[in-house]
Amino acid sequence: MIYWIYLGFAILAEITGTLSMKHASVSGGMTGHIAMYVMITVSYILLSLAVKKIALGVAYALWEGIGILFITLCSVLWFDEPISLLKILGLAVLIAGILLLKISASSDKLTSVQGDKHVAV
The answer to whether the beta carbons of residues 31 and 17 sit under 8 Å apart is no
How would residue 106 be classed by pLDDT, with cut points 50, 70 and 90? confident
The span from the CA of 17 to the CA of 107, in Å, is: 32
38 band by pLDDT with thresholds 50, 70 and 90? very high
Task: State residue 115's pLDDT score.
Answer: 58
pLDDT at 93 over 90: yes
Compute the distance between CA of residue 120 and CA of residue 114 in angstroms, rounded to an integer: 13
Domain range summary for the chain, segments of one domain joined by +: 2-113
